[in-house]
Amino acid sequence: MNDLSRRALGLSAVGVAAFAAMRASVAEAQTAGGTWFDMVRAHHTLIADNLVMILATSDSQVAERTRLQKHLGYLLTAHSVAEENVLYPALARLGLTQASDQLYIEQAHAKVGNADLEVTPKGDDAWLAKVSALKTAILHHAKDEEEADLFPKLAAGVSARENAMLTADYARQFASVQRV
Ligand SMILES: [Fe+2]
Ligand SMILES: [Fe+2]
């Protein structure tokens, strides 16, 4: 992207570099060759980093906010498709039905929150306050519930063969969502 098109989009040089790095790390996370849990942690980090970047923008950077939020929508969709089609059903099969149901509900709320960001004017503090609330909810769901509690139980509760199947299925489902 040259200086002219960057200025036309209202993107700072730092924003462009960070955005490019984030896009590259999505591909990296997909091809890292780790377990499903490694991919989940990598995708959580990408989502958290994206939210931090949005919160660092000023009210005048509407184009950058729009671009970052569009990418956030992609990350949330790809990650949620993989979790909802692969990992949450596996939690339910393990007997953690209530917890699985709760994760689906929280993820639905995150989608409502993200959709709200799309229709709220991005040039004022009210939009940023909504991003901040969404970040708090997403990080609680991802860090406190999934990473610290439920996903360790899933990884330990199924066989090595099923863990390998979950890894292949998670990667395939995540990659099925078209990147933006
Ligand atoms: Fe989740
Ligand atoms: Fe997650």
Average pLDDT, the chain: 89
pLDDT at 62 > cutoff 60: yes
Q: Nearest bound ligand to CA 174?
A: 2
pLDDT at residue number 9: 45
pLDDT at residue number 2: 44
Q: What percent of the chain has pLDDT over 90?
A: 78
> The pTM is what?
0.86
Instruction: Give residue 7 CA to ligand 2 midpoint distance, Å.
Output: 35
Mean pLDDT is lowest, of 1-15, 42-56, 122-136, for 1-15
Model confidence at 76, pLDDT cuts 50, 70, 90, reads very high
Q: Which residue stretches of the chain are H helix? A: 3-9, 13-31, 36-55, 62-82, 88-93, 97-119, 125-139, 151-157, 160-175
pLDDT at residue number 4: 43
pLDDT at 123 > cutoff 60: yes
> What average pLDDT does the segment 19-41 reach?
72
Instruction: Give residue 21 CA to ligand 1 midpoint distance, Å.
Output: 23
Q: What CATH code would you report for 3-175?
A: 1.20.120
Instruction: Give residue 14 CA to ligand 1 midpoint distance, Å.
Output: 29
DSSP state of 84: I
C-beta separation of 98 from 126 below 8 A: no
Instruction: Give residue 10 CA to ligand 2 midpoint distance, Å.
Output: 31
> What average pLDDT does the segment 153-176 reach?
96
Residue spans of the domains in the chain: they are 3-175
- Between 8 and 126, where is the model more confident? 126
Q: Which residues have their alpha-adjacent CB atom under 5 A from ion ligand 2?
A: 142, 146
Query: Which residue has tokens 């439920």?
Result: 150
pLDDT at residue number 179: 87
- Between 9 and 141, where is the model more confident? 141
